[in-house]
Amino acid sequence: MAQLELSTRVPEAADDGVWLACIECGATLAPFAAVVYTCPECDGLLEVRYDRYPTFEEFSGRGVWRYAAALPFEAGVSLPEGDTPLHEVPRLREDVGVRTLRVKHEGMNPTGSFKDRGMTVGVRVARELGVERLACASTGNTSAALAAYGARAGMETLVLLPAGKVAAGKIAQASLHGARILEVDGNFDDCLEVVQALAERGEAYLLNSLNPFRLEGQKTIFFELLEGFHADEGRYPDRIVLPAGNAGNTAALYKALRELVRAGSLTDDDVPKITAVQAEGSAPLVEAIEEGREAVERWDDVQTRATAIRIGYPVNAPKALPGIRATGGTAVAVTDGAITDAQRDLAREGVGVEPASAASVAGLRKLRESGVVDADEDVVCLTTGHLLKDPDAAAAAGTEPEPVPNDADAVLDHLG
Ligand SMILES: *Cc1c(COP(=O)(O)O)cnc(C)c1O
Ligand SMILES: [Zn+2]
């Protein structure tokens, strides 16, 4: 498994064994000397690199900061995050027809999505850089997480949201945690362009997943997932299935795997297949995989009920596509109807997720039915956000409330 190689040759720019490297041209940069998001030479994506990569044995403690040996700092602005459950879902496993199915529920983080793992690291870096104002564009969860971690850090936060396209729970969070909420008349991709322009003018520190430090925090999902699966099952999963929007998490998964291989904790044979799922109305990454293209083409019009993955131009595609290919994985698109069915399937096992999260299970089911996934596979699906994030979607997918009289006999009659 190569493609994006991790060199441990320390460049001059390194600070205490940490530096930034451009994945396109290889340029290296000092990590905390100046605010930088993309390569000054070629505008390529940056990746955080280290002089060494730790083995599983070097991790201790709890949550995201258990993995401090693989992060740029020992501790961060923490609420705390991580330590999310790796559910067994026996009926769903049986129904889908794989050897093992576990669900890593990232909705159980402090603000209800995996974005918290990126923010605990990202806001720590913001402090290191001495910036005053934090900002992000968001389909909702990034803004909820940024608002909470910014509040905790005592920093001003600015969130740019596509007007009318963000689920109620997420806006409520950003609002109560005191972010300034700017509703843009456009889609997520437009919001990102505006906030990037603000960041380039030095008006705010950008904490979208274009920021390479966010992905460092999100790597810990997969360290935790692999450790947990191995502890329970005595082996590593064959496949990890996850929803993809900007494909930051897909990129973080690939980086976690490369680091563990580099450290010697995983062999090439242990490496799970990275399997990304998008909604049919918003599937530029799937299109790039299916057509064997090196880059994604922007979709100007994106539609799906799974608002967290309603993204037409996945910024992390150059990091994610090589990972999907290098691990023998794939990408698949599912309908909104299949997403809602999967949301119900998970809910029936007691696991409450928002629509985007359920895309992972819908994708697995589709790939199992088409024979891409074998019956003897050990699979982990990632569910990225909590049911309460999008109460309207949950209510629409669930049972209808039944009006009854205020009387026990009448209620019994009604029950039949
Ligand atoms: C952000 C988010 C995603 C998409 O993650 P990417 O890293 O952008 O691919 C999926 N699901 C939920 C619930 C999210 O909040
Ligand atoms: Zn470059």
Amino acid of residue 152:
R
Q: In angstroms, what is the span from residue 409 Cα to ligand 1's centroid?
A: 47
Shortest-distance Cα residue to atom 2 of ligand 1: 308
Opening angle at CA 180, ends 175 and 185, nearest 5:
100
Contact 162, 246 (CB under 8 A): no
Of 1-15, 23-37, 175-189, 200-214, the one with minimum mean pLDDT is 1-15
Task: Tell me the pLDDT of the chain averaged across its residues.
Answer: 97
Contact 379, 237 (CB under 8 A): yes
Shortest-distance Cα residue to atom 1 of ligand 1: 308
Shortest-distance Cα residue to atom 15 of ligand 1: 141
Mean pLDDT of the region 324-328: 98
Look at residue 231 and tell me whether its pLDDT is greater than 60. Answer: yes
pLDDT the model gives residue 5: 78
Starting from the CA of residue 390, give the closest ligand. 1
Q: In angstroms, what is the span from residue 245 Cα to ligand 1's centroid?
A: 5
**Measuring CA to CA, which residue among 381, 384, 346, 351 is closest to residue 101?**
381
Mean pLDDT of the region 202-221: 97
Q: For tokens 């904490």, what's the residue? A: 207
pLDDT digits (tens, 9 = 90+) for 278-317: 999 999 999 999 999 999 999 999 999 999 999 999 999 9
pLDDT the model gives residue 180: 97
- Rounded to whole angstroms, how far apart are CA atoms 239 and 254? 12
pLDDT the model gives residue 1: 54
Contact 207, 270 (CB under 8 A): no
Pocket, ligand 1, Cβ cutoff 6 A:
113, 115, 141, 209, 243-250, 308-309, 354, 356-357, 384-385
The number of beta carbons lying within 10 Å of the beta carbon of residue 105 is 23
Using DSSP's 3-state secondary structure scheme, residue 59 falls into coil
- Rounded to whole angstroms, how far apart are CA atoms 93 and 108? 21
pLDDT digits (tens, 9 = 90+) for 97-150: 999 999 999 999 999 999 999 999 999 999 999 999 999 999 999 999 999 999
Opening angle at CA 65, ends 60 and 71, nearest 5:
105
Beta strand pairing status for 86-88 and 28-29? Answer: unpaired
The band of 370, judged by pLDDT with boundaries at 50, 70 and 90, is: very high
- Rounded to whole angstroms, how far apart are CA atoms 218 and 115? 7
Using DSSP's 3-state secondary structure scheme, residue 344 falls into helix
Contact 389, 238 (CB under 8 A): no
Domains in the chain (CATH in brackets) are 86-111+217-397 (3.40.50.1100), 115-214 (3.40.50.1100)
pLDDT the model gives residue 189: 92
The band of 48, judged by pLDDT with boundaries at 50, 70 and 90, is: very high
Please count the residues of the chain: 416
The arrangement of strands across the sheet holding 46-50 comes to: 28-29, 18-22, 46-50
Q: In angstroms, what is the span from residue 244 Cα to ligand 1's centroid?
A: 6
Q: In angstroms, what is the span from residue 45 Cα to ligand 2's centroid?
A: 7
pLDDT digits (tens, 9 = 90+) for 52-69: 999 999 999 999 999 999
- Rounded to whole angstroms, how far apart are CA atoms 403 and 311? 39
Mean pLDDT of the region 141-167: 96
pLDDT digits (tens, 9 = 90+) for 7-43: 888 999 999 999 999 999 999 999 999 999 999 999 9
Shortest-distance Cα residue to atom 14 of ligand 1: 308
Q: For tokens 């790039």, what's the residue? A: 288
Write out the two tokens for 256. Answer: 């976690």
Pocket test for ligand 1, best of 104, 105, 113, 388 (most atoms within 8 A of CB): 113
Tell me the H-state helices in 26-89: none
The percent of residues in the chain predicted with pLDDT above 70, rounded, is 99
pLDDT the model gives residue 4: 73
Taking a 5 Å cut-off on Cβ, the residues next to ion ligand 2 are 22, 24-25, 27, 39, 41-42, 44
Q: In angstroms, what is the span from residue 211 Cα to ligand 1's centroid?
A: 15
pLDDT the model gives residue 3: 58
